[in-house]
Amino acid sequence: MNFITDAAVKAVKTLYQTDINPFDVSLQETRKEFEGQVTIVTFPFTRFSKKSPEQTGAEIGEYLKNELSEVSTFNVIKGFLNISISNSYWIDQLNNVIASNDFAVSKPNGKKVMVEYSSPNTNKPLHLGHVRNNLLGYSVTQILEAAGYEVIKANLVNDRGIHICKSMLAWQKFGNGETPESTGEKGDHLVGKYYVIFDKEYKKQIDELKLAGQSEEDAKKNAPLIKEAQEMLLKWEAGDDKVIDLWQTMNGWVYGGFAETYEKMGVAFDQYYYESNTYLLGKDIVEEGLASGVFFKKDDGSVWIDLTNEGLDQKLVLRADGTSVYITQDMGTAQLKYDDYHMDESIYVVGNEQDYHFKVLFLILQKLGKSWAKGLYHLSYGMVDLPSGKMKSREGTVVDADDLIAEMEATAKEQTEALGKTNDFSEEEKEELYHIIGMGALKYFLLKVDPKKRLLFDPNESVDFQGHTGPFIQYTHARIKSVLNRATITGIDAEPSDLASEERDLILLLTQFPDIIKQAATAYNPGLVANYAYELAKNYNKFYHEHSILQAEDELIKQFRLQLSAASAKVISRAMGLLGILVPERM
């Protein structure tokens, strides 16, 4: 309640001729045993008033009551000034939430930000790590947009390199012309299968060479398969028609598969970047850095940057044979992104195993004198684990994103049916509902945690309708909708004479939403929005259990409670929307 803080600053100035900071005013919720809703701690002001805490509180209270129409009464307990806010203030706030279509959406702030997220490789399907990435990235774009930014959602696809050639080669050798159409398999899974086959066959060859007396190191280099893959990469770089053809076909399969997974996850992109388009630009930047002396060449022709003065080490930016490394491509992509959009900020949503890479990348771009380098930010996040034994993927190592989504839908179905909540739903409605609940559970569980923290995902816990979960909040929303559907809202034409603490608490929470969005945008942390949505749902349920809505004492109170319910549903829905989570109308 900023207006109380501001008025308190003025009070101290007027009464005691002292300038204080808004930060010096400590506001708290009034303790339940006292009358009032907000409390100012007045102990610190006795230094200026040179009076007892009681007297100081009374003087400031008197001042606030005279100055602010919103203050109806106050009482002083030692160094605590408890303030009662008038009912009209609460009603105004509530009406404000109801009236504005875009409640909590900030005006455009004139700033442009690019958020790159997902950024998969085209040799295998999306996995659990991508799931956290996609959900986090998408949610951050929604939060930044709500905070007033113009946002570009970008995806950088790693579509070239030796790993891509491995799946291509294995398909060529062992694929018998299989296609997604001929097998009915999703394109990204089909390609991923051949990536695994490559590895298996390659290992066999290594073992054979070792049996024939070669060292492990030599065997890895000499195995015919790896040599062929390397040749294929050279042909690709030389633009060989056949190789390029195969590359396009197989990448096309993968994109088809990714598109399906993205759609199911509810994420989207405005702009795709492809490493095959940017790695050459990276080589241009290497030239630029050599010319300006930021990079240096070693005797073997490889190009490096020396970051020892920055506490890092020497870093390779171009191999001796002239081929690019990961960071070469990223230098090119960064330049291209900026040339395309001239954005103020550019965020990279990438796991924390790449912290060092981005530290080096940003430092290099600063040293190259790129004016935009200061706007680069690595939104680093921790790993996701599953309880052991849960959902081994077909290769037994990583958990596949599509499998996880299917598992979530199945869990949602099980739990919902057990509660008998969908008995009157059609099959189609049920399927949609299980998808919404399953994804809501997954998204909420992953997003409520600070991105930096490593987390353990527990599918069953995430669907618990009574827990700190997405489905609990979704269910609260559906419950409100069901109440609203059974009544006619005509609006509040007068003020209810008395408001209960649960009602004021709920209105107070509703008014805090815009501020929560700003905090979440500044910290790039959807967790703040997630926890807010939970508080709101919890407080609504408390209100719902304490007060009857449809059987309220009189029509005025009934209308007020209906409005309060409508506003709560609206804000819950909006908050969940910022997390990419849908809320059902009924469940």
Nearer to ligand ARG, 49 or 346 (CB): 346
List the interface residues with ligand ARG, window 518-577 (CB under 6 A): none
CB of 116 to ligand ARG, least distance (A): 6
The three-class DSSP label of residue 82 is: strand
| 3-class SS of residue 297 | strand
β-pairing, 71-77 vs 303-306, is unpaired
The percent helix, strand, coil of the chain (3-state, each to 5) is: 60, 10, 30
Q: Is 350 in the site for ligand ARG (CB under 6 A)?
A: yes
Q: Segment near ligand ARG (CB under 6 A), from 115-123, 450-458, 510-518, 577-585? A: 115-123
156 touching ligand ARG, by CB under 6 A = yes
Q: Nearest approach, Cβ of 510 to ligand ARG (angstroms)?
A: 38
- Quick one: which of 499, 520, 441 has its CA closest to 473? 441
Binding flag, residue 348, ligand ARG (CB under 6 A) = yes
**Which residues have C-beta within 8 Å of that of residue 350, sequence separation ≥ 6?**
119, 133, 358, 378, 379, 380
Binding track, positions 304-343, relative to ligand ARG; x by CB under 6 A = --------------------------x--x----------
Q: Smallest Cα–Cα separation from 437: which of 470, 407, 404, 405?
A: 470
Q: Per rule CB under 6 A, is residue 37 in the interface with ligand ARG?
A: no
Residue type for position 308: T
Within 8 A by CB and 6+ apart from 441, the residues are: 408, 411, 412, 459, 462, 463, 469, 470, 471
Min. distance of Cβ 130 from ligand ARG in angstroms?
8
CB nearer ligand ARG, residue 130 or residue 479: 130
Exposure on the CB side of residue 340, measured as CA atoms within 13 A:
16
Q: How far is the C-alpha of 448 from the C-alpha of 586, rounded, in Å?
A: 24
Stretch that binds ligand ARG, among 5-13, 113-121, 451-459, 553-561 (CB under 6 A): 113-121
Q: What's the closest the beta carbon of residue 515 comes to ligand ARG, in angstroms?
A: 32
Please select the residue that binds ligand ARG; options are 158, 346, 415, 474, rule is CB under 6 A. 158
Considering the complex, what minimum distance in angstroms separates the CB of residue 158 from ligand ARG? 4
Task: Please give the full DSSP string across 135-165, using - where no structure is assigned.
Answer: HHHHHHHHHHHHTT-EEEEEEEEB--SHHHH
188 or 330, CB closer to ligand ARG? 330
Residue 258 touches ligand ARG, criterion: CB under 6 A: no
Nearer to ligand ARG, 158 or 539 (CB): 158
C-alpha to C-alpha distance for 569 and 504, rounded to whole angstroms: 16
**Residues contacting ligand ARG: total by CB under 6 A:** 9
Q: Which is nearer to ligand ARG, 142 or 333 (CB)?
A: 333
Q: Which residues bind ligand ARG (CB under 6 A)?
A: 116, 119, 121, 156, 158, 330, 333, 348, 350
